[in-house]
């Protein structure tokens, strides 16, 4: 065995979670793929991230700066982080870099380019991120979570659409999925899971809190809101009754099993996990996401009839109420969307991605 692997999974949970999913597979299949050691390369500010705390392999921490924080000092701080990374990777004999996207993957990528190591890219969104786009010509392969919007980009690069790698602890039981596909009785209250992403979303929180003033809605739906830690107190102060508020949870499987419907942003990780659980979605894309990637992610699920999409910047709930009233009138709408959501799922994405990168298949 000669190959040591580093997975550059630094910036946000959307980059970290799929990186950890790949690490789980690689650690268990070291012999099969003739690998030596597997490492995660991540930002020090992510030290408390639950996925990294429970990492299946050693985490190498780095302090790559953000350009926006101090553009004058950025070149010096970046160079320092890069040199440190190079020394560490040379010492560990890193031969392959798997980059999960985002600026924090740059030191790993530059190391691989300088020393002619293999580079495998993972792109979570339908719009290729700026860092991945810049280094496509240096990469050996790229794995996509969804078909990308501009298919001309990276056309000569070996690529496959394999889905967003999902951690083992998230994967559902068959019974849980089968239940989502059943048409619920009109007498049964439906459970709505509300998520605004790792930091929460004031817009979504406020929209759902408004919903709870509608008697017909609260009569037919239960709400569980993952508010985000920074917005928990604010949401709690506005909520009198009718909702279960949770600031943050590291046990998402439990919440997905509870839910019949999800109201969320359209980050790649969340929508991929919802699809695995056959969950219908009402998606409210973050309107200021880079290159409108959240809107494109949401459109993919809407095109496949797995979600309703609300492209709005305000907190008006007129369209949201209309969708929920249609579900109240016809529960079959929900089971139909659940079936379509499941068809968009790729529960074996982590294994498929590892095989794609480390086998001789194109």
The radius of gyration of the chain's CA atoms, rounded to the nearest angstrom, is 21
Can you read off the two tokens belonging to residue 133? 């786009």
Higher pLDDT, 242 or 206: 206
Strand pairing class (158-161; 190-195): unpaired
**Tens digit of each residue's pLDDT (9 = 90 or more) over 303-357:** 999 999 999 999 999 999 999 999 999 999 999 999 999 999 999 999 999 999 9
**Phi/psi-derived region of residue 102, left when phi > 0, alpha when psi is between -120 and 50, beta in every other case:** left
Alpha-carbon distance 68 to 256, whole Å? 36
- Give the domain 172-343 fold: Rossmann fold (3.40.50)
Q: Which of these, 226, 229, 259, lies nearest to 245 by C-alpha position?
A: 226
**CATH 3.40.50.2000 residue ranges for the chain:** 3-167+347-358, 172-343
- Give the domain 3-167+347-358 fold: Rossmann fold (3.40.50)
Helix and strand totals (H; E) in the chain = 15, 13
Q: What are phi and psi of 147, to 5 degrees?
A: -60, 130
Can you read off the two tokens belonging to residue 179? 């239940």
Q: Find tokens 């392999």 and name the residue.
A: 57
- Give the percent of the chain with pLDDT over 90: 76
Q: Is 156 exposed, middle or buried (0-12, 13-18, 19+ CB in 10 A)?
A: exposed
Q: What is the mean pLDDT of residues 144-160?
A: 90
CB contact at 8 A, 224 and 194: yes
Can you read off the two tokens belonging to residue 145? 């979570």
Looking at residue 199, what is its pLDDT?
A: 65
Looking at residue 280, what is its pLDDT?
A: 97
What is the overall mean pLDDT for the chain? 92
Q: Confidence class of residue 125 from pLDDT cuts 50, 70 and 90?
A: very high
Higher pLDDT, 335 or 69: 335
Looking at residue 1, what is its pLDDT?
A: 44
**Tens digit of each residue's pLDDT (9 = 90 or more) over 8-64:** 997 788 899 999 999 999 999 999 988 999 999 999 999 999 999 999 999 999 998
Looking at residue 127, what is its pLDDT?
A: 95
Whether residue 70 has pLDDT greater than 80: no
Q: What is the mean pLDDT of residues 256-276?
A: 96
Cβ-based neighbours of 31, under 8 Å, separated by 6 or more: 1
Work out the end-to-end distance of the chain between its first and last CA atoms, rounded to an integer number of angstroms: 22
CB contact at 8 A, 164 and 329: no
- How far apart, in Å, are the Cα atoms of 174 and each of 178, 181, 246, 294? 6, 11, 26, 29
Q: What is the mean pLDDT of residues 254-277?
A: 96
**7 C-beta neighbours (distance < 10 Å), count:** 31
Q: CA angle at residue 57 from 56 to 63, to 5 degrees?
A: 120
Q: What is the mean pLDDT of residues 143-157?
A: 90
Alpha-carbon distance 110 to 16, whole Å? 19
Q: How far is CA 316 from the centre of its chain?
A: 26
Whether residue 76 has pLDDT greater than 90: no
Alpha-carbon distance 130 to 304, whole Å? 27
Alpha-carbon distance 209 to 242, whole Å? 9
Q: How far is CA 228 from the centre of its chain?
A: 16
DSSP 39-87: EEEEEGGGTT-HHHHT-SSEEEEE-PPPTTT-TTTHHHHHHHHHHHHHH
**Tens digit of each residue's pLDDT (9 = 90 or more) over 213-263:** 899 999 999 999 999 888 999 999 988 776 899 998 889 999 999 999 999
Alpha-carbon distance 337 to 302, whole Å? 10
Higher pLDDT, 68 or 189: 189
Looking at residue 189, what is its pLDDT?
A: 94
């Amino acid at each position: 065995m000669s190959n040591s692997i580093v997975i550059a999974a630094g910036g946000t949970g959307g980059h970290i979670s799929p990186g950890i999913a790949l690490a789980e597979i690689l650690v268990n299949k070291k012999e099969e793929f003739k690998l030596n050691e597997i490492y995660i390369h991540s930002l020090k500010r992510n030290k408390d991230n639950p996925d990294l705390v429970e990492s299946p392999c050693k985490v190498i921490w780095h302090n790559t700066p953000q350009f926006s924080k101090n553009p004058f000092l950025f070149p010096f701080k970046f160079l320092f982080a890069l040199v440190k990374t190079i020394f560490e990777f040379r010492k560990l004999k890193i031969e392959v870099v798997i980059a999960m996207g985002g600026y924090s993957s740059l030191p790993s990528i530059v190391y691989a380019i300088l020393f002619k190591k293999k580079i495998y890219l993972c792109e979570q969104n339908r719009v290729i991120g700026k860092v991945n786009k810049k280094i496509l010509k240096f990469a050996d392969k790229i794995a996509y979570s969804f078909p990308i919007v501009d298919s001309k980009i990276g056309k000569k690069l070996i690529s496959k659409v394999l889905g967003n790698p999902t951690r083992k602890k998230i994967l559902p039981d068959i019974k849980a999925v089968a239940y989502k596909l059943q048409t619920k009785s009109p007498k049964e209250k439906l459970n709505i899971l509300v998520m605004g992403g790792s930091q929460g979303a004031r817009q979504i929180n406020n929209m759902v809190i408004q919903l709870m003033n509608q008697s017909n809605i609260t009569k037919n739906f239960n709400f569980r809101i993952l508010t985000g830690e920074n917005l928990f107190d604010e949401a709690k102060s506005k909520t009198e009754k009718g909702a279960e508020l949770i600031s943050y949870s590291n046990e998402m499987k439990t919440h997905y099993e509870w839910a019949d419907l999800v109201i969320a942003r359209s980050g790649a990780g969340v929508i991929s996990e919802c699809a695995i659980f056959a969950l219908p979605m009402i998606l409210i894309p973050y309107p200021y996401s880079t290159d409108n990637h959240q809107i494109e992610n949401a459109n993919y699920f809407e095109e496949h009839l797995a979600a309703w999409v609300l492209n709005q910047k305000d907190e008006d709930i007129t369209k949201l109420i209309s969708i929920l009233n249609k579900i109240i009138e016809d529960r079959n709408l929900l089971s139909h969307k659940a079936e379509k959501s499941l068809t968009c799922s790729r529960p074996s994405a982590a294994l498929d991605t590892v095989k794609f990168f480390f086998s001789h298949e194109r």
